[in-house]
Amino acid sequence: MGDTKLDLLQGTLDLMVLQTLAALGEMHGYGIARRIEQVSGDEVLLNQGTIYAALVRLQQRGWIESEWGASENNRRAKFYTITKRGRRQLAEDTAYWQRLSGVMGRVLAMGNAGEPQ
């Protein structure tokens, strides 16, 4: 993508974090950030620091939980897991995003005369 990276839409980071935790289970902040970078193929503009604001938001809503533990290199780190409510929320939001991207795709695929091509 060169110099221009995708700016994250407000709230999309929260969804990415939820999905990462749902897919990979217990993780610490650094792990989550790295995972998102890898999956996105370095296409999103992510200051890793911003992940912590998202984590505290999600935790306050009761969608994820945290616990201190030891990392693979034996460093003390906070590990996050998704809760049952978090999974429910994720399902809802996923459906929402899929509908939205479907609609956006159709809208953007319209020709100049307004006819589907």
Partner 1 sequence: MKAARGSPQEGWGDRLRRAGGRLRAFFRKQPMDRELEEEIAAHIAMATDENIRNGMPPEEARRRAMVKFGGVEQAKEQQRESRGIFWLDTVLQDLRYTIRTLARDRGFAVIAILILALGIGANVVVFSVVNTILLRPLPFYNPDRLVWIAPADAQGLSGSTYSADAFEDLRLMNRSYEDVTGYFAFSTADNYKLMNHGDPKPVTGMQVAGNFFHVLGVSPEMGRLFTEEEASKGGGAAVLLAHPFWERQFGRDPSIVGRSITLDNKPVTVVGILPESFDFGAAFSPGTKVDIFTPVMMDDIRYEGNTLTLIGRLKPGGTLAEARAEATALFPQFYWGKRYPESKGNYKNARPVPLKEYISGKLRRSLVVLWCAVGLILLIVCVNLSNLLLARAAARNKEFALRSALGAGRARLVRQLLTESLVLAASGALLGLGVAYALLTYLAHQGSIALPLLSQVRLDGTALLWTVVITMTTAVLFGLLPGVRASRANVQEALKDGGHGATEGRRHESMRTALVVSEVALACVLLIGAGLLLRSFLKVLDVDLGFQPSSAATIKLDYDDGGSIAKRNAVLENVSRRIGALPGVEAAGLSDNLPLERNRGWGAPRIKGKSYKEGELPGAFVYIVSPGYFRAMGMPLRGRDFTWADTDKSEGAVVLNETAAKGLWPGEDAVGKMVVVNGKVDVRVIGVIADVKNLGVEEQPGWQMYLPMMGDWGPDGAYLVVKTRLPPAQLSASVLKTLRGINPNQPAVEFRPVQGIVDHATSPRKFFVTLVGAFAGLGLLLASLGIYGVISYSVTRRTQEIGIRMALGASPGDVQMGVIRKTLQMAALGIAAGAMLSIAMAQMIAALLFGTAPTDPPTFAGMPLLLVAVALLAGYLPARRASRINPMVALRNE
Number of Cβ within 10 Å of residue 56's Cβ equals 12
Give the nearer residue to partner 1 in terms of CB position, either 47 or 112. 47
Catalog residues that contact partner 1 under the rule CB under 8 A.
Answer: 9-12, 14-15, 18, 28-30, 33-34, 47-50, 52-54, 56-57, 59-63, 71, 73, 75-78, 89, 92-93, 96, 99-100, 103
- Dist. CA 59–CA 21, nearest whole Å: 13
Please state the closest distance from residue 40 (CB atom) to partner 1, in A. 14
Please state the closest distance from residue 43 (CB atom) to partner 1, in A. 15
99: Cβ contacts below 8 Å, ≥ 6 apart: none
Please state the closest distance from residue 59 (CB atom) to partner 1, in A. 7
Q: How many CA atoms lie within 13 A of 42 on its CB side?
A: 3
